[in-house]
Amino acid sequence: MANRKRPAAPAKKAPRPSSRSSSTAVGGAATAEIHQTESAPDRRITTNHGVPVSDNQNSLKAGPRGPSLLEDFVLREKIQHFDHERIPERIVHARGSAAHGFFELTKSLKKYTRAKVLTDVGAQTEVFVRFSTVAGGAGSVDTPRDVRGFAVKFYTGEGNWDLVGNNIPVFFIQDAIKFPDLIHAVKMEADRGYPQAASAHDTFWDFIGLMPESTHMVMWAMSDRAIPRSYRMIEGFGVNTFRLVNDAGEATFVKFHWRPKLGTQSTCWDEAVKIAGADPDYHRRDLFEAIDAGAFPEWEFGVQLLSQEEADALPFDILDATKLIPEELVPLQIVGRLVLNRNPDNFFAETEQVAFLPTNVPPGIDFSEDPLLQGRLFSYQDTQLSRLGTVNFHQLPINRAKGCPFQNLQRDGQMQTQVFQGRANYEPNSLAEAGEDGGPREDPAGGFTSFAQPVSETKVRLRAETFADHYSHARLFYLSQTEWEQAHIASALVFELSKVTLVHVRERVLANLQNVDETLAVRVAAGLNMELPEPSEPAAEPQDMDESPALRIIGKYVPTLEGRMVGILVSDGADGRIVKALKKSCEAEGATVKIVAPKIGGVTLADGNLLPADGQLAGTPSVLFDAVALVLSEVGCAQLVNEGAAVDFAFNAFGHLKAIGYTKEALPLLEKAGVKTDDFVIEVTKEKDAFVEKAKARLWEREPGVRPSNYFPAA
């Protein structure tokens, strides 16, 4: 591993986020300002019933790395209050899209688990998958810079299994007790009600600067992962560490992964902003139309498996949700596939009413002591009670167990839809001895059994010392990116922090960034025209880890047109033979082709035939396509060269690094739009389709010329 020189400390000093571990908090939020309240009782945090709170950063656990305890009334009250803040919309992940499909196991994990969904090769399990943004409300747009939810409900023969994850493998916080604070900080500011679905504001970055444990997740959130091209083109992660338990009661740690068959693809930031205006439902429409057309999205299902000994040997703690396990250290094993092949029949009844619970696991899958996961086990169930209004939400068709009988002795409750017979509503009972139905019984052999993890620790509100390193994985992620992706992270940080009005908040973030990478901090400071403050003092000295190319997007997947969309702008008098040849060659590569014309009625081609349009120019800009072609006549180009929407069509396609095909008659429009010839600006004819190969990717080498601010100062 390379040793990198620590940056020299400039004169200007930023406030230091302190941390506490076994003797002092490792959460990073315990700052001097917060500790001042200890000497001012009238400003102390209390429970809703007035009990002073000694620690608002850590949940109560059996030892620093032990499971969270049910008696933690501070955690339960805080999260319960948060879960019930707003109804009926989800507090987070409110804007979502979903589809039905199936999961098929291709490789048995019987050595590690007794869960049949992961042992019976070839068996197909019905699933319902919901994708979502996190911060925005149900009425927000699809393309903000945000985390994307990736939640899968497996209707297994042993009960529902809900794998509730994201398109990013880590999270902002280490302990669930901080989740209400995180979401309060990123949501609309409490006094003004904006911004909606955006993290570029004071309260979010104030929280981030005071919580160094969030730094790794911030790197991902500022990367291209947070502005995906499509739900069909995102990776998915279970985020938390789980356990698999086999027939012998032996446990193996597991991380769950989804890999899109179409490859991971993102938009450019400027493109994402413009898509929001052109089509607020861009991702929702894309998913629905792809399934409707029979282009079923597909993912590979992979696992990373570790024994307790292998986990203990890692230079970080796998119970810490702000850390990931590099695939170069623990390779990903592909064991199944997920296919989405049916759209919901009713958005409200299915997509809106579906309730995912991390507590839904079949026998053979179990939890770890990850304090973020431990809090989720309580919070999801609780929030569904508020949002769906009844303890019987599991009886809704979309939530009902389908692969097995659902039976217990719980009765009544609001909106009870089942009509139970007999007297047995308690257990144990001896009614069967009198010939009556005594109801279901527990199954000691086949029922769910928790892994027998020894617990013998003192009750504490502390983070484990192994959670103290907040920067090594952030550094790993940043240094593993290509130069283009590093530039995007720096540019995103500049954009976000430029919206922050509190100077000390910007300074604190810059102080923390220096623990990630000096060049990154210099870039961001230059973009803000600020001097670098003194680096913040980390709770644990950052370590250099071997770079992980698996963390990149650019260059990770083979270029393809499958699942992509190509737009062809046409005018009256255009050569229909070229349009037909382009459409045929693009569709042969798996692309969807849409004809864009000045008017929705279409254009009259040179041969006199009418070519219908799929979109009108002003309402179908190039940001909606992965590549574009301009097939114009001389007269048509002369008309469009003075049309702002046509100029923007070419200008934005070039600025967003896309391939542009053109007929020679379209050259005046390209010139007006400032499009310069390069390898991805290609003349098209009815015989020549070199455009198709270029349309499979973006030309990242073009970016420094069209958006130089992303690359100043040079890396």
pLDDT in tens, 405-463: 777 778 888 888 888 888 988 888 899 989 999 888 888 888 888 898 888 889 999 99
pLDDT tens digits along 630-664 = 999 999 999 999 999 999 999 999 999 999 999 99
Task: Clarify whether 93 is annotated catalytic.
Answer: yes
- Give the model's confidence band at 130: pLDDT under 50 very low, under 70 low, under 90 confident, else very high: very high
DSSP state of 467: G
Question: Within 13 Å and on the Cβ side, how many CA atoms surround 606?
Answer: 14
Specify the pLDDT at position 46. 77
Name the catalytic one among 93, 216, 257, 470. Answer: 93
Whether residue 38 has pLDDT greater than 50: no
Q: State mean pLDDT over 355-376.
A: 94
Residues pairing with 340 in the sheet? 101
Mean pLDDT, the chain, whole residue set: 91
> Quick one: CA torsion of 552, 554, 555, 557, rounded to 10 degrees?
80
pTM of the model: 0.90
* Residue range(s) in the chain whose domain bears CATH number 2.40.180.10: 96-173+229-369
pLDDT at residue 22 greater than cutoff 80: no
Range with the poorest average pLDDT among 61-75, 287-301, 635-649, 673-687: 61-75
In the prediction, which pLDDT does 87 show? 52
| pLDDT value at residue 82 | 82
The dihedrals phi and psi of 208, each to the nearest 5 degrees, come to -60, -45
The pLDDT-based confidence of 23 (bands split at 50, 70, 90) is very low
| pLDDT surpassing 60 at residue 11 | no
Counting beta carbons within 10 angstroms of the beta carbon of residue 450, is it exposed (0 to 12), middle (13 to 18) or buried (19 or more)? Answer: exposed
**Predicted confidence (pLDDT) per residue in 587-638, tens digit:** 999 999 999 999 999 999 999 999 999 999 999 999 999 999 999 999 999 9
Cα→Cα distances 172→90, 199, 321, 411, 488, Å: 19, 13, 8, 39, 20
pLDDT (0 to 100) of residue 28? 42
Band (41; pLDDT cuts 50, 70, 90): low
CA distance 75 to 375: 8
Task: Answer whether residue 252 shows pLDDT above 90.
Answer: yes
Looking at the chain, the domain(s) classified CATH 3.40.50.880 span 565-696
> Could you say which of 3.40.50.1970, 2.40.180.10, 2.40.340.10, 2.20.25.90 is the CATH number of the domain covering 96-173+229-369?
2.40.180.10
Instruction: Rounding to the nearest 10 degrees, give the CA dihedral for residues 578, 582, 583, 589.
Output: 160
Q: Within 10 A of 519 (CB to CB), how many other CB atoms are there? A: 17
CA atoms of 623 and 605, how far apart (whole Å):
25
359 DSSP assignment: T
Q: What is the pLDDT of residue 100?
A: 98
- Residue 219: Cβ within 10 Å count: 28
Residue 9 has pLDDT above 80, yes or no: no
Average pLDDT over residues 379-401: 90
Whether residue 274 has pLDDT greater than 90: yes
Those residues whose C-beta lies under 8 Å from the C-beta of residue 11, and which sit 6 or more positions away, are: 534
User: Is the pLDDT higher at 131 or at 87?
Assistant: 131
Tokens of 554: 């650019």
Name the 3-class secondary structure at 489. Answer: helix
Quickly name the fold that domain 565-696 has.
Rossmann fold (3.40.50)
Q: Is the pLDDT of residue 39 over 50?
A: no
343 is catalytic: no
Compute the distance between CA of residue 158 and CA of residue 443 in angstroms, rounded to an integer.
Answer: 12
Catalytic residue among 58, 160, 166, 515: 166
The whole-angstrom separation of Cα 122 and Cα 105 is 6
| pLDDT band at residue 714 under the 50/70/90 scheme | low
Q: What is the mean pLDDT of residues 291-319?
A: 97
Q: Tell me what pLDDT residue 156 has.
A: 93
For 200-263, where are the alpha helices, taking DSSP H only?
202-210, 215-221
Higher local confidence (pLDDT), 45 or 269: 269
Residue partners of 709: CB distance under 8 A and separation at least 6: 491, 527
Share of the chain above pLDDT 70, in %: 93
Min mean pLDDT across 289-303, 402-416, 666-680, 693-707 is at 402-416
All residues at 6 or more sequence positions from 347 whose CB lies less than 8 Å from its CB, including other chains? none
